[in-house]
A and B are shown apart, each in its own frame.
Chain A
Amino acid sequence: GAVVSQHPSRVICKSGTSVKIECRSLDFQATTMFWYRQFPKQSLMLMATSNEGSKATYEQGVEKDKFLINHASLTLSTLTVTSAHPEDSSFYICSALFGGQQYFGPGTRLTVT
């Protein structure tokens, strides 16, 4: 139980384009999901908290107009990286809150060329 999926697992895009990453809770409903970014050999850094039916809460230093989050249903949250640049290349991981614990997706590796 408590399985979270992400799609795509890997994406390569050109600088200036936008990329959408999906995070789904497969066997439970999640009113709250989280988006993290992880650079090589660094810790997971929380980007934003996504709540179903309301606006996401962004951490300090994260540009909300660049990282658009939509939590349209109890099983799906999406992260759109707009006008991506090479410095946005990273491993993006989502988690969903269930039973007081966060369950993580497998991550999406974004490479911006």
Chain B
Amino acid sequence: QKEVEQDPGPLSVPEGAIVSLNCTYSNSAFQYFMWYRQYSRKGPELLMYTYSSGNKEDGRFTAQVDKSSKYISLFIRDSQPSDSATYLCAMSPTSGTYKYIFGTGTRLKVLA
């Protein structure tokens, strides 16, 4: 079993839809949770990061962490074609090593 599981997609939605992207994990030591966006043949770009459980909102993006279920989500409201990319979740324990464990990424296509 992988430490972090993420559905690879692709996920296709119409423009304006609400998108839900999810990751599950098995290591209860993870405390920091990140979401990255990666365009084709580019490096990942940090979108959101959260510490421990709870919600965090930034514009059209909302990150949720449910540590009891070992489940994290990223919601994108009013999705745009420019949101079409691969979304990677990443996690790290509190050891201070900054070693991130990444999910495989979910490929999202927002159709105009």
Contact = CB atoms under 8 A, between A and B. Distances in A.
Given A42-B104, A43-B88, A104 B98 contact: no
A106 B103 CA distance: 19
A46 B100 contact: yes
A34 B42 CA distance: 16
Interface stretch (B13-21, B44-52, B63-71, B75-83): B44-52
Q: Chain A interface residue count: which class?
A: 20 to 34
Interface string A58-73: 0000000000000000
A105 B43 CA distance: 5
B55 to A, nearest CB: 19
Interface in A3-36: 4, 6, 32, 34
Contacts of B36: 104
A107 B46 CA distance: 15
A44 B90 CA distance: 10
Q: Could you say which interface size class chain B belongs to?
A: 20 to 34
Contact of A44 (B42, B45, B88): B88
Contacts of B4: 43
Contacts of B102: 43-45
A97 B49 CA distance: 15
Contacts of B46: 101-104
Contacts of A6: 43
A107 B88 contact: no
